[in-house]
Every structure is written in C-alpha cells, then in structure tokens.
Amino acid sequence: MASTTASQPKDERMVEAGLLKKILSRPELGAVGGAILVWIIFALVAPRGFLSLRGASSYLEVSAQLGLLAVGVSLLMIGGEFDLSIGSLVGMAGATMAILADVWGIPLYLGAAIALVINLSVGLVNGILVIKTKLPSFIITLGSLFMFRGLTIGVTRLLTGRTQIGGLADAAGYNFMKVIFASDITLFGVGFPVAIFWWFGLTALATWVLLRTQIGNWIFGAGGDAVAARQVGVPVSRLKIGLFMTTAFVAWLLATIQVITFKSADTLRGEQQEFLAIIAVVIGGTLLTGGYGSAIGAAFGALVFGMVKQGIVFAGVNADWFFVFMGAMLILAVLFNNFIRRKAEEARK
C-alpha cells in the first residue's frame, strides 16, 4: 500500500531495496543477462574466433542486420501491433532499386529514394487497413507478407527474367551509396561495417523517443490500452499508422545496406526475418500484448542472435542447430522475463 505516514528510518531502508527492485524491473534485464551468458559460452568454446576483434566485428555485423529491423519492430510491438510483412518489404525495396538501376539505369540513390517512398506507402496502407478493418494486425500483415513477396518475385522476373540482380557495383551512384551504407569504420585496426553504427544510432534514437518524448508515452499508452489512451486524447490511429511506416522504413534501410554491401539484390532477401525480429524483441523484454518493452532490450536480443549465429560457425557446430537454439532461447527468455517481473512486482507491494 502506498498510503502510509512513513517515518524516517523506514524510508532509508526502502531506498536500498528500491534500487535493486528498479534494476530487477527493467525490461532489458533478461536480454542483457542472456547476452552475457551467450558471450561467456562462446568465449569458452571458440576463443580464437570469438574473442578477437575481427570476430566481434563479424557477429556485430550480423546482429546489426537483424537489429535494424528489431528497432522498428520493438516500437510497433510496444504500441500493440505486429508487422509480419517486414521481411517481404526488405526484399521488395532491394529489388526495386536494383531493377531501376539494372533496367533503366537510374542512379542507385534515386532508386533508393523511390524504394523508400514505395515502402512508406505500403506501411501507410498496412496501418490504414489495420485501423479501418479493426482486424488484428497479425492477419493484415500476414496477408501483406505473401502479397508483397509474390509481387516482388513476379515483377522482378517479369522485368528482368531472373530473381537475382547482380553487378550493381557498376551501377550509377554506387560509390556514393557505398560511403553511406556499406563502408567500414576502422577501429583499433579492424574494419567495422557502418551498418553497426546505423544500428546503434537508431536504437539510441528509438530509446530516446520511447523514454523521453511525448510520442514515446503515447506508444506505451496505445499499447497498454488503446481505448483508455484515446479517452485521454492520444491520437492512437495516427500513431499506429506512423509505427507501421517506421517498420517499413527500417526494412528499406536494411535492404539498402544489403544491396550495397552484397552489390546485388535477391527477391528472397528478408525471408523469415520478421519472425526473428519478433523473437529478438521479445527476448528484449517486450510483451506480446504491448504496452511494455524496450528498444535497448531488442538490441540485446539482436546481439544474442548475431553472437549465436557467428559463434556456431567459430565453434565448428553444424549451422542447422541455430534454429533449435533460437526457438529454445525465445521460450526461456520469456519465462525468465516473466519470473523476474513477478518478483519485482511482489516486492513492491
């Protein structure tokens, strides 16, 4: 109970216990713990590859690619919705700029701009459909997943006769795009792909928005109870549409980074990434029901993903086991998060 006339000594003791409780109740705890655990395991099992700076660069790069999606997905899931089409949007954005460059010689930066507009429009449509039809976003975006993947493959085949478009290093505007999206930043003699810094930057921005802005409060509110939020004047519809456009944006960003890094587009890029992104976000402490979560947690979730994917390679284990691990990790993470949160709540009462 909160309503007591507390005397001084009681309050002082409360302060220490309060700090511990504060730490325990942070949503990121599970993901940070998990990341540390995974790091220790691979440090022991594959020290030569894993503990080197180059090793770090490789697993960070893998983490960054999922992490970029996870940032957008974390904001949307905290806001109470799902976007299962995000993987298909990665494929579509990449194919768009590649086709424009390959078939019509349009410079890649222009092609990327056009792809961005297209992606944002799809995000807008996803959002509007969810709001107007009142169907679960799970369903709407599941439909989008198939529609846009099919569209991507079909149109690409139609216009280019194939499903992969290579040789983009020779395309107009490549060098300019490379600087922004695929260059390496050298630290301590090792090159770290710029994607990692895009990931860190967007995560920091998302965290700031969530915790320090009005819109962030609205996101928590809309996810916690959309009806209650509307009653106090939060523009829930516009907010959710904006969040769908955000996931479409990060899909575009990843697509652009991948197209420039691999100098090619593949219509199947992004496949299954939507599920992995959701897993990373949930590991990071976000509730499936919305209203609670963390962008930093999602970043740690993506980090775990990257460490495991690369760690398995360094440890010489068969890559098939990766999915087994991710599935088990998801369930354990949710159980752990729930356990910690319940302990923290009980302690407060």
Partner 1 sequence: MSDNNKVPNIEVKNISKYFGSVIALQDVSMSVHAGEVMCLLGDNGAGKSTLIKALAGVHQPSEGNYLVEGKKVLFTSPRDALARGIATVYQDLAMIPLMSIARNFFLGSEPTLGWGPFKRFDIGFASRVAKAEMAKMGIDLRDTTQPVGTLSGGERQSVAIARAVYFGAKTLILDEPTAALGVKQAGTVLRYIAQARARNLAVIFITHNPHHAYAVGDRFTILKRGRTFGTFTKEELSREEMVRMMSGADELDALSHELKEFERQDQEQAESGMSEIDHALADALDDEAS
Q: Which residues bind partner 1 (CB under 8 A)?
A: 1-6, 11, 14, 18, 22, 212-214, 216-218, 220-221, 224-225, 227-229, 231-234, 287, 291-292, 345, 348-349
Strand partners for 192: 185
Interatomic CA distance for residues 76 and 59, integer angstroms: 26
Q: Which residues of 109-143 are buried (b: 16+ CB within 10 A; e: fewer)?
A: bebbeebbebbbebbebbbebbbeeeeebeebbbe
Least spacing, CB of residue 165 vs partner 1, in Å: 37
Residue 307 near residue 58, CB atoms below 8 Å:
no
Angle, in degrees to the nearest 10, between helices 108-133 and 236-262:
150
Residue type, 40: I
Q: How far is CA 280 from CA 15, 72, 284, 299, in A?
A: 33, 12, 6, 8
Least spacing, CB of residue 9 vs partner 1, in Å: 14
Least spacing, CB of residue 256 vs partner 1, in Å: 23
The torsion angles phi and psi of 91, rounded to 5 degrees, stand at: -60, -45
Least spacing, CB of residue 2 vs partner 1, in Å: 5
Residue 129 near residue 142, CB atoms below 8 Å:
no
Q: Which is nearer to partner 1, 126 or 203 (CB)?
A: 203
Least spacing, CB of residue 207 vs partner 1, in Å: 13
Q: Which is nearer to partner 1, 25 or 164 (CB)?
A: 25
Least spacing, CB of residue 280 vs partner 1, in Å: 21
Query: Which of 311, 269, 338, 344 shows the shortest CA–CA distance to 43?
Result: 311
Q: Which is nearer to partner 1, 144 or 286 (CB)?
A: 286
Helix (H) / strand (E) containing 168: none
Q: Which is nearer to partner 1, 212 or 238 (CB)?
A: 212
Least spacing, CB of residue 217 vs partner 1, in Å: 5
Strand partners for 265: 165
Residue type, 233: G
Q: Which is nearer to partner 1, 218 or 252 (CB)?
A: 218
Q: Which is nearer to partner 1, 66 or 226 (CB)?
A: 226
Q: Which is nearer to partner 1, 149 or 341 (CB)?
A: 341
